[in-house]
Amino acid sequence: MSQDAIDRNTLKQYLLGELSQETQLEAVEERLFTDDDVFEELQLVKEDLIEQYVKDEFTTAERRNFERNFLTTEERRADVRRAQALARYAGRKMEELRQSQEKKLSKDGDPPRPRWRWLPRRLTPAGSSVVALPLNPAWALAVAVLVTAALSFVVWRGFYYQSDLQRGLLALKSTYRLQRPVESRLTALDYAPLPNTRGNGNKQIDTLSQERAERLLRDAQNDDPGAASDHALGLYYVTQLKFDQAIPLLRKAVEAKPNDAQFQSDLGAALIEKAKADRLNGDQTTSYADLSESLEHLNRALALNPSLLEALFNRALCHQYMQLPQLAADDWRLYLTKDSQSNWADEARDRLKELETQTSKVSQNKDAAQSFLA
């Protein structure tokens, strides 16, 4: 099995032009010519690479090597174009399938629609889809009442109505108005300080609002499934520190709407919080992987919307946890150019100051060590 893995990786390197020594290249080519299994595996690896390219799953270096060293022939380029067509087609078909399943589910759950049998024949002349004006004054009054009611409904729906999703998010905001649940910034929450406690300190959260938020956001996801409700319920789970439930939902939302900067930022935030939890559990590798993925989403969010303060705040934090103080300090400075007044800005200033103090201490220690060694 491990031999397979080595072979697959070698073939990948071969196709991406990452094998530099002639002896390595010749060894691969010798096997390609003499071993049918290796040749067949090469075809599979080619397919994998094309899929990865089409789905933008490559690192920058891999993408560059793929374009420079793999897309050498017109045939290979045509392979990529066919893969792009198939990916687009599959995306559309799967979306149609999902929608039809959702429709079917909602149809099964809906009560039967009422049939408006009480309307008199005079109002709906045979063969006409347009309702004829009633001649009878009593019917005119009835229609006027109906129109007024319909207009009132439109006004109410437009100005006062709140969906479960909106009410759920408001309840979530209200839950954490005194104390925020996580260090990162979530787009749904306003500023609140972090709890300044160690161990089991008093939590200043509104538990009634919390229960309400959970109920409403679950309902929203059931009754009106989609990226917005996945995102909202995902945020709820982040506030509960249930990252294994939060991250798949936030990922789903991002996959459905990859150009939503807020979705990208919130997924980045969730991954930072998970990375911190992993680190506390001693899992440094996963923690670093989470931070790397977080950084990708935060960069994407900022590419989509450079003014998104949540994403900028989170990226500064992410750089800090990745032990990249210089980049973190740059981000905090950038943040302060965009927001210098809010409570978030005060926090950013404190963090920047702390970083600058640390950096100056390190440089003093370095100087001392150098003068000692000199």
CB of 44 to other proteins, least distance (A): 5
The binding site for other proteins (CB under 8 A) comprises: 4, 14-15, 17, 25, 29-30, 32-34, 36, 39, 42-44, 47-48, 51, 55, 57, 67-78, 81-82, 84-94, 255
CB burial readout 186-207, b (16+ within 10 A) else e = bbbbeebeeeeeeeeeeeebbe
Q: 39 or 153: whose CB is closer to other proteins?
A: 39
CB of 49 to other proteins, least distance (A): 11
CB of 95 to other proteins, least distance (A): 8
Q: Which of 107, 112, 106, 113 is nearest to 225 (CA)?
A: 106
CB of 275 to other proteins, least distance (A): 18
Q: 74 or 110: whose CB is closer to other proteins?
A: 74
CB of 78 to other proteins, least distance (A): 5
Reported as type and span, the H/E element at residue 374 is: none
Q: 59 or 73: whose CB is closer to other proteins?
A: 73
Given a contact cutoff of 8 angstroms between Cβ atoms, the answer to whether 219 and 165 are in contact is no
CA distance 96 to 102: 10
Given a contact cutoff of 8 angstroms between Cβ atoms, the answer to whether 42 and 15 are in contact is yes
Q: 102 or 255: whose CB is closer to other proteins?
A: 255
Alpha helices in the chain (DSSP H): 2-15, 22-34, 36-54, 60-65, 74-109, 137-155, 164-175, 207-223, 227-239, 243-256, 261-280, 284-304, 309-321, 325-338, 343-373
Q: Which of 255, 201, 253 is nearest to 232 (CA)?
A: 253
CA distance 324 to 188: 28
CB neighbour list of residue 186: distance below 8 Å, 6 or more residues apart = 235, 238, 239, 266, 269, 310
Q: 81 or 366: whose CB is closer to other proteins?
A: 81
Q: Go through the chain and tell me how many residues it has.
A: 374
Q: 68 or 361: whose CB is closer to other proteins?
A: 68
> What is the rounded radius of gyration, in angstroms, for the C-alpha atoms of the chain?
29
Given a contact cutoff of 8 angstroms between Cβ atoms, the answer to whether 205 and 175 are in contact is yes
CB of 8 to other proteins, least distance (A): 9
Q: 56 or 108: whose CB is closer to other proteins?
A: 56
CB of 224 to other proteins, least distance (A): 23
Q: Which of 185, 190, 189 is nearest to 317 (CA)?
A: 185
Q: Alpha-carbon dihedral of residues 71, 73, 74, 77, nearest 10 degrees?
A: -20
Q: In degrees rounded to 5, what are phi and psi of residue 129?
A: -90, -5
CB of 28 to other proteins, least distance (A): 9
Q: 45 or 172: whose CB is closer to other proteins?
A: 45
Q: 297 or 315: whose CB is closer to other proteins?
A: 297
CB of 30 to other proteins, least distance (A): 7
Q: 27 or 143: whose CB is closer to other proteins?
A: 27
CB of 68 to other proteins, least distance (A): 5
CA distance 34 to 31: 5
